[in-house]
């Protein structure tokens, strides 16, 4: 039963404009709050509270961003009601013409933006994109030759015994990906993820001294392991990777070269990573999320060479349920936005800001993994620099208005829960328009706070979670971060004083 609302936010907005032209993004946002409030005010109130939170804290989470309001609003409509299992033009449901048009358009935009032979827009997340890629590679490399040997068309023509034999062959394949503790993603063979159950998964590490990927050491390991898939990509590594060289190495052992560019897809789209550092011309299959540096809706995407295209398009039903047409619509908008020249300027500024952040931290005495960055990530070592765990650093900085996440450093003695590091990223603050001066201010505040923070002992031992920060430093830091937040508001189109009434 809708709740009666005597005073709509939209009406207040229009009254405030006094006959002026409404901003479509603001109007839609206010109308959506009215709609949600008519069913359940708690949800609408939490959306507003989240905006207040994001406006009061600087977002330094390397994997987050602010999608445009057009991208957000593309997700909030009737497309969510439609089932469209299959792929564009080949559906298992009637009435998919409009979803076909959106999915094909989005795929064309992705192909043009990244220069890929093929694009698949359906994965609901990064892990889904990687599962689609794994299954497509297994189907193309293992299943197809198995079926050819038995001269049958597809798996439904196999006897139970033959299918069991195929399952054993599929299961007997090796994956070589960047080790989780060196900055690789958990879907690249981490023991607690399905990737290590699906494959005999092995990890390559960064060099213990330099923290850098050593392609000579990788070559040696690759020849020992001889995997079906060589997988590149990371969640916490701060340097460019020579994908042209990695492809050569993969070819030496007949491995399929797969790159998960979830973190740096925006830097590829924005032409910061070009030539050998652009994975698309070199990898057989490239996966990504769409919401990190690419600044789209939460979701995934797969790009591939023509050889893998048919298998990639069978992501549903292989590992996915029905696609999310509303999210594919939002992906198409984000891909269009990323195709504009202004996105290339944005991508270049992300890296300038990350370099300024790394420099600012190091100039003030904080150790930074690999001594800097080539991308959007900075990994600060708070254990050796400040005697803190990552958990303490994360909490102390959040308390003054900086949102970031703790992260293991390579070979981290503090493990993945407490960690010794902080991962800081610049995509979101760059979207807000901050530049190197603001980033230097952030580095200064962060170091002041971390220096003024000490572990609190628990049962006579140095605590790994409890901490205290000098009150005066907290107060000053909060004021400095608040000043930055006020100067660079999140979604400035939305005047929250109208919601408050
Ligand atoms: N959770 C993402 C990140 O923060 O890097 C990866 O899945």
Q: What average pLDDT does range 323-339 have in this prediction? A: 98
Do 327 and 359 lie in one domain? The reply is no
Task: List Cα–Cα distances, 42 to 36, 38, 101, 187, in angstroms.
Answer: 9, 10, 36, 35
Is residue 62 in a domain? no
Q: Is 288 in the pocket of ligand 1 (CB under 6 A)?
A: no
Q: How far is the CA of 350 from the centre of ligand 1 (A)?
A: 18
How high is the pLDDT of residue 1? 43
pLDDT band at 367; cut points 50, 70, 90: very high
Distance CA 176, CA 217 (A): 13
Domain of 175?
Answer: 78-338
Do 181 and 323 lie in one domain? The reply is yes
Distance CA 234, CA 178 (A): 7
Q: Is 63 in the pocket of ligand 1 (CB under 6 A)?
A: yes
Do 168 and 219 lie in one domain? The reply is yes
First to last CA, the chain: 24
How high is the pLDDT of residue 365? 96
Binding residues for (6S)-5,6,7,8-tetrahydrofolate: 184-186
pLDDT tens across 16-33, in order? Answer: 999 999 999 999 999 999
Do 118 and 25 lie in one domain? The reply is no
Do 326 and 394 lie in one domain? The reply is no
Distance CA 342, CA 241 (A): 25
Are 434 and 484 a contacting pair, CB within 8 Å?
A: yes
Q: What average pLDDT does range 60-68 have in this prediction? A: 98
Beta bridge partners of 58: 402
Distance CA 74, CA 325 (A): 10
Q: Is 235 in the pocket of ligand 1 (CB under 6 A)?
A: yes
Q: Give, for ligand 1, the residue of 235, 405, 421 to mutate: max count of ligand atoms closer than 8 Å to Cβ.
A: 235
Do 252 and 357 lie in one domain? The reply is no
Among protein residues, the one with the nearest Cα to ligand 1's atom 6 is 235
Distance CA 265, CA 429 (A): 17
Among protein residues, the one with the nearest Cα to ligand 1's atom 3 is 63
Among protein residues, the one with the nearest Cα to ligand 1's atom 4 is 63
Query: To the nearest whole number, what is the mean pLDDT of the chain?
Result: 96
**Torsion from C-alpha of 278, 283, 285, 288, nearest 10 degrees:** -20
Do 382 and 330 lie in one domain? The reply is no
Is residue 317 in a domain? yes
Q: Give, for ligand 1, the residue of 60, 61, 63 to mutate: max count of ligand atoms closer than 8 Å to Cβ.
A: 63
CATH number of domain containing 286: 3.40.640.10
Q: What average pLDDT does range 62-70 have in this prediction? A: 97
Is residue 131 in a domain? yes
Do 319 and 465 lie in one domain? The reply is no
Do 421 and 292 lie in one domain? The reply is no
How high is the pLDDT of residue 192? 93
Token output for 385: 């620099």
Of 331, 308, 309, 310, nearest to 99 by C-alpha is 331
Is residue 72 in a domain? no
Q: Give, for ligand 1, the residue of 177, 190, 292 to mutate: max count of ligand atoms closer than 8 Å to Cβ.
A: 292
pLDDT tens across 427-462, in order? Answer: 999 999 999 999 999 999 999 999 999 999 988 888
Position in ligand 1 atom list of the atom nearest CA 64: 4
Q: Is 430 in the pocket of ligand 1 (CB under 6 A)?
A: no
Q: What average pLDDT does range 466-493 have in this prediction? A: 98
Q: How far is the CA of 298 from the centre of ligand 1 (A)?
A: 12
Task: List Cα–Cα distances, 445 to 353, 362, 425, 442, 449, in angstroms.
Answer: 16, 13, 16, 5, 6
Q: Which of 318, 338, 358 is the last residue of a domain?
A: 338
State the pTM of this model: 0.96
Is residue 463 in a domain? yes
Do 105 and 250 lie in one domain? The reply is yes
Q: Is 300 in the pocket of ligand 1 (CB under 6 A)?
A: no
Is residue 66 in a domain? no
Do 202 and 302 lie in one domain? The reply is yes
Is residue 104 in a domain? yes
CATH number of domain containing 451: 3.90.1150.10
| Dihedrals phi, psi of 376, to nearest 5 degrees | -105, 0
The DSSP secondary-structure symbol of 23 reads: P
Do 282 and 318 lie in one domain? The reply is yes
Q: Which of 323, 338, 353 is the last residue of a domain?
A: 338
Position in ligand 1 atom list of the atom nearest CA 126: 7
Position in ligand 1 atom list of the atom nearest CA 405: 4
pLDDT tens across 269-288, in order? Answer: 999 999 999 999 999 999 99
Position in ligand 1 atom list of the atom nearest CA 127: 7
pLDDT tens across 401-411, in order? Answer: 999 999 999 99
pLDDT tens across 188-213, in order? Answer: 999 999 999 999 999 999 999 999 99
Q: How far is the CA of 470 from the centre of ligand 1 (A)?
A: 32
Q: Which of 338, 364, 398 is the last residue of a domain?
A: 338
Are 475 and 496 a contacting pair, CB within 8 Å?
A: no
Is residue 100 in a domain? yes
Which helix (H) or strand (E) is 445 found in, with range? helix 436-451
**Count of domains forming the chain:** 3
| Residue 177 DSSP SS3 | strand
């Amino acid at each position: 039963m809708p709740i009666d609302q005597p005073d709509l936010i939209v009406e207040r907005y229009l009254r405030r404009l006094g006959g002026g032209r409404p901003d479509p993004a603001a109007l839609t946002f206010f109308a959506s709050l009215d709609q949600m409030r008519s069913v359940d005010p708690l949800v609408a109130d939490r959306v507003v509270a989240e905006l207040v939170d994001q406006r009061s804290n600087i977002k330094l989470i390397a994997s987050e961003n602010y999608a445009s309001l057009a991208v957000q609003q593309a997700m909030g409509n009737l497309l969510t009601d439609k089932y469209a299992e299959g792929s564009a033009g080949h559906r298992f449901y009637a009435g998919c013409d409009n979803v076909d048009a959106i999915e094909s358009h989005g795929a064309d935009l992705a192909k043009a933006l990244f220069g890929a032979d093929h694009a698949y827009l359906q994965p609901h997340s990064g892990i889904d994109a990687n599962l689609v890629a794994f299954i497509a590679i297994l189907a193309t490399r293992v299943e197809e030759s198995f079926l050819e040997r038995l001269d049958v068309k597809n798996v439904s023509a196999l006897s139970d015994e033959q299918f069991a034999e195929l399952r054993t062959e599929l299961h007997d394949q090796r994956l070589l990906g960047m080790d989780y503790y060196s900055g690789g993603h958990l879907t690249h063979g981490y023991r607690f993820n399905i990737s290590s159950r699906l494959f005999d998964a092995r990890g390559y590490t960064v060099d213990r001294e330099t923290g850098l990927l050593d392609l000579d050491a990788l070559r040696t390991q690759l020849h020992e392991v001889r995997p079906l898939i060589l997988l590149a990509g990371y969640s916490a590594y701060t340097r460019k990777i020579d994908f042209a060289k990695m492809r050569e190495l993969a070819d030496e052992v007949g491995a399929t070269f797969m790159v998960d560019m979830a973190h740096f897809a925006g830097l590829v789209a924005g032409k910061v990573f070009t030539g050998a550092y652009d994975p698309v011309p070199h990898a057989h299959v490239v996966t990504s999320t769409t919401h990190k540096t690419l600044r789209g809706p939460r979701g995934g995407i797969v790009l591939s060479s023509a050889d893998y295209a048919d298998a990639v398009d069978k992501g549903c039903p292989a590992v996915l349920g029905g696609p999310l047409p509303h999210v594919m619509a939002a992906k198409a908008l984000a891909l269009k936005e990323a195709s504009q020249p202004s996105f290339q300027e944005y991508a270049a500024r992300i890296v300038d800001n990350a370099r300024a952040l790394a420099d600012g931290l190091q100039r003030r005495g904080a150790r930074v993994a690999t001594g800097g960055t080539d991308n959007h990530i900075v990994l600060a070592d708070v254990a050796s620099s400040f005697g803190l765990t990552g958990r303490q650093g994360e909490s102390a900085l959040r308390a003054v208005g900086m949102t970031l996440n703790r992260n293991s450093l390579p070979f981290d003695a503090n493990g993945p829960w407490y960690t010794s590091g902080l991962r800081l990223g610049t995509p979101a603050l760059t979207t807000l328009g901050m530049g190197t001066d603001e980033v230097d201010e952030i580095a200064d505040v962060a170091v002041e706070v971390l220096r003024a923070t000490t572990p609190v002992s628990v049962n006579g031992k140095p605590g790994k979670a409890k901490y205290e920060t000098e009150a005066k430093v907290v107060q000053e830091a909060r004021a400095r971060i608040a000043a930055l937040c006020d100067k660079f508001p999140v979604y400035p189109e939305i005047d929250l004083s109208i919601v408050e009434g």
